[in-house]
Amino acid sequence: MRVDLNSDLGESFGAYTLGMDEAVLGVITSANIACGMHAGDPQVIAATVKMAAQKGVGIGAHPGYPDLQGFGRRNMALSPAEVKDYVIYQIGALEAFARAAGQKLQHVKPHGAMYNMAAKDYGLALAIAEGVKSVNPELILLALANSEMVKAARDVGLRVAQEVFADRTYNADGTLVARGTPGAMIHDKRVAIPRVVRMVTEGKVTAINGEDIAISADSICVHGDNPEAIHFVREIRDALQAAGVSIEPLQNFI
């Protein structure tokens, strides 16, 4: 049994430093690197790609809406055609930096509002999948488990990895409970870690209403914006390995 650990990185820009990217790269297997629209800048992208390559971490593009002020978390009324072009544009940026570093892109994971909207909207999901395929049909689309993005990726013939979250709760339909809703975030690692292990080994998770739902976990999204968060990721790794799970980049098994 194998699973990937991914994290959103390269979110610093200009004079602003966000996250602890170098430390995070020591505990994950795939990096989703901001492409400059919702966060990141050319210098940060170059440095993050280089660090990921040195650590043997799979390199992914993390395209989002053009919303630097809102960190890409505000819904935008863009057409599917516009979303497709924004995805192509941002993958192109990351692919260029990867090539410059002698590396290849492994995957694409949409960010924030784009990710959440496409999880429920098949038209947007299809636009993202078509954008990814048009750039490189060998790329893996990293998508919310059981979402419309998974369906769209399969419909266009892309490889798809289904993603779960270590610190988020789920609705009964498999969607994430919206940020800001009571109970949306899991802060107690004594609750979070057994949930993660169960999602990977049993394919099940308890929804916010108490109902057990089926879920596929190819990759676990983790965060590393402070030392405590990085320690949490290490504990997740240890618990998974103790359960007989191998931690590997997506390209090894998707």
The predicted-structure confidence for 87-142, as pLDDT tens digits, reads as follows: 999 999 999 999 999 999 999 999 999 999 999 999 999 999 999 999 999 999 99
Nearest-angstrom CA–CA distance, 253 and 23? 25
Nearest-angstrom CA–CA distance, 157 and 95? 20
Nearest-angstrom CA–CA distance, 128 and 87? 6
Mean pLDDT computed over every residue of the chain: 95
pLDDT given for residue 178 in this prediction = 84
pLDDT given for residue 68 in this prediction = 94
The predicted-structure confidence for 82-97, as pLDDT tens digits, reads as follows: 999 999 999 999 999 9
Does 173 or 138 have the greater pLDDT score?
138
Is 71 within 8 Å of 41 (Cβ atoms)?
Answer: no
Exposure letters 1-14 (e unless 16+ CB within 10 A, then b): ebbbbbbbbbbbbe
Q: Is the pLDDT of residue 41 over 90?
A: yes
Average pLDDT over residues 211-230: 90
Is 220 within 8 Å of 29 (Cβ atoms)?
Answer: no
pLDDT given for residue 183 in this prediction = 87
pLDDT given for residue 69 in this prediction = 94
Q: Is the pLDDT of residue 223 over 90?
A: no
| All structural domains of the chain | 2-248 (3.20.20.370)
pLDDT given for residue 175 in this prediction = 87
- In total, the chain counts a number of residues equal to 254
This prediction's pTM: 0.95
| Pair of tokens at residue 16 | 């602003």
